[in-house]
Amino acid sequence: MKNTAVRAAAVVAAALFATTATACSNSGSSSHQKEDTGANVKAAAEQATASASSGMPGMKDGASKIMTSNVPGLGEVLVDSKGHTLYVFAKDTTDKSTCTGACAKQWPPAIVTATPKAATSSASPSASVSASGSASPSASVSVSASPTSSAGAVRSDLLGTTKRSDGTLQATYNKHPLYYFVEDTKAGQANGQGLNAFGAKWYVVDAQGKPVLAKAPKSSGSPSGSSSSSSSGGVQY
């Protein structure tokens, strides 16, 4: 009888040990899974942050300030606060964008959170100090508080926004949606000038809100545009 009781106690102890070990194992596995999930979420967030701050064309609110910049062969055209060239699409016959899906990947819309502000670039006020201790001027951006009649300056009264099909706001100028071109990888490029893609042509635009029909300069690497060398309001939207 005594031996039977001892054996029973041993069986119970063994069962309890097995249960405890299993629970600890599951707990440890769950903990590792949570750690792995947390690490993946953190990595994704870091990647998204890096992408958002990379300055790539189409970056949100890059067009919160719009100014003009001189592109050789095209004259003064609209660019964003980073100097990236902005375009209009001849297929947009109203202020509503017709460029979505694959089109929007090649020609990213100029996404903003509010109506853009007119800005001008100047090359004086601020100065930077080089390693040798000498100061050199650097470009700065000032915001225009009112419309201006200067042929080369952005007009505040022509700036606006339009709501895209996904609910985001896209900057407009003279009631035409503005876009970037994915192959413009740095400021000053206009590789999309005159290209015929997704059903119509793409043009840079001047401060008066008219498409510039000049051919893209060879240095930009763009195939071809119109043979006209002046801005025109003849393009129908």
**How far apart are alpha carbons 198 and 136 in whole angstroms?**
45
Main-chain phi, psi angles of 209, to 5 degrees:
85, 15
List the single range of 71-80, 140-149, 150-159 with lowest mean pLDDT. Answer: 140-149
Give residues with Cβ within 8 angstroms of 7, minimum separation 6. Answer: none
In the numeric block, which tokens belong to residue 112? 């903003």
**pLDDT single digits (tens) 169-218:** 999 999 999 999 999 999 999 999 999 999 999 999 999 999 999 987 66
User: Within a 13 Å sphere around the CA of 2, how many CA atoms are in the beta-carbon half?
Assistant: 0
In this predicted structure, what is the pLDDT of residue 4?
A: 47
In the numeric block, which tokens belong to residue 55? 């300055």
The amino acid that residue 153 corresponds to is A
Q: Say if residue 28's pLDDT is above 70.
A: no
Contact 214, 225 (CB under 8 A): yes
**How far apart are alpha carbons 99 and 228 in whole angstroms?**
25
Question: Which of the 8 DSSP states describes residue 100?
Answer: -
pTM higher than 0.75: no
Mean pLDDT of all residues belonging to the chain: 72
Closest-CA residue to 81 (of 60, 96, 105): 60
**How far apart are alpha carbons 84 and 204 in whole angstroms?**
11
Give residues with Cβ within 8 angstroms of 102, minimum separation 6. Answer: 198
Closest-CA residue to 194 (of 72, 89, 47, 97): 89
Compute the average pLDDT of residues 79-96: 96
Q: Say if residue 25's pLDDT is above 60.
A: no
**How far apart are alpha carbons 190 and 68 in whole angstroms?**
13
**How far apart are alpha carbons 127 and 22 in whole angstroms?**
67
In this predicted structure, what is the pLDDT of residue 131?
A: 41
In this predicted structure, what is the pLDDT of residue 216?
A: 76
Percent of the chain with pLDDT over 90: 49
Confidence of residue 219 (pLDDT cuts 50, 70, 90): low
Question: Which of the 8 DSSP states describes residue 44?
Answer: H
